[in-house]
Amino acid sequence: MHVIDVGLADLREPLPPSALAAGLQDGTLCPHTSRTLMLAEVRMLLETVPAQARRAEYREAVVNENVLLKPTTSTRKKTFELLGQLYGLDPSITVFRALRDLWTEAMPSGQPLLAVLCALARDPAFRATLPAVLQAPEGSTVTPDQLVEAIVVRYPERFNNTTLRALGQHAASSWQQSGHLRGHLRKVRVRAVATPAGTIYALLLGHLAGARGESLFSTLWAATVDAPQHVLREHAAAASRRGWLEYRAAGAVTEITFRHLLRPPETLGGPRQ
């Protein structure tokens, strides 16, 4: 697979304060100890709750209105808590506001990539599994044990065996939901569906994590899009024409900015064209 190589060195670098302020996460909060990506739930929730909604409205929908059809109040509360940890569910959080902006643009085929990128940004243990998946040859088997090994390399002695087992199983399911793995009992590495919306979001996450210019195409976020660099550049150029970002490339100089996605949080939705 001709994709960007991703090494553990990138994952060991702490996120800068500006990234943390925008909603990316380091530290001990790891939703994948309890659940997976919950793609079906986040899809249903974003289809139900208006784009302009505040966090309290998401909670009302999940806990009181039970739009996710959970059987008990405690399950509804836990689901809302974990969805909040994975996605933010608050327009004051930049990574969620941008996800919400791009969600409809991505269409159903591109939404799994947006979801996994946001979950990677907000779950450090899940993020540690990136090399085990992205560096696996197409057609090879990726097991929960391999994902656990990647987590242990990044976080030695942090999790007990029971927690690691849950992390491995949940992470494997999430990578299946995102389209990077296929199969139930035996999960096989496949190429995920790369879309312009996913590329926009990956470039934004790289920007929030401190990358600029040409280096935006070589981040772990860009690698997650699962496409060659020339495809990422084509996506960036198309997004620039539509007003989602500003992309200028002249010779060896590349400039990418995000005036729309990094605007103040008063409004949500697509750019004016």
Give the other-Cβ count within 10 Å of 215's Cβ: 13
46's tokens: 């974003």
- pLDDT tens digit string along 109-152? 999 999 999 999 999 999 999 999 999 999 999 999 999 999 99
Q: List residues bridging with 182 in a β-sheet.
A: 188
Residue 11 is predicted with a pLDDT of 75
Residue 271 is predicted with a pLDDT of 72
14's tokens: 């702490």
Q: Which residue has the tokens 């935006």?
A: 216
- pLDDT tens digit string along 15-29? 999 999 999 999 888
pLDDT band at 14 (very low <50, low <70, confident <90, very high): confident
pLDDT surpassing 80 at residue 268:
no
Residue 184 is predicted with a pLDDT of 87
Q: Could you please report the per-residue DSSP string of 161-203?
A: HHHHHHHHHHHHHHHHHHTSEE-SSS-EE------HHHHHHHH
pLDDT band at 160 (very low <50, low <70, confident <90, very high): very high
pLDDT surpassing 50 at residue 8:
no
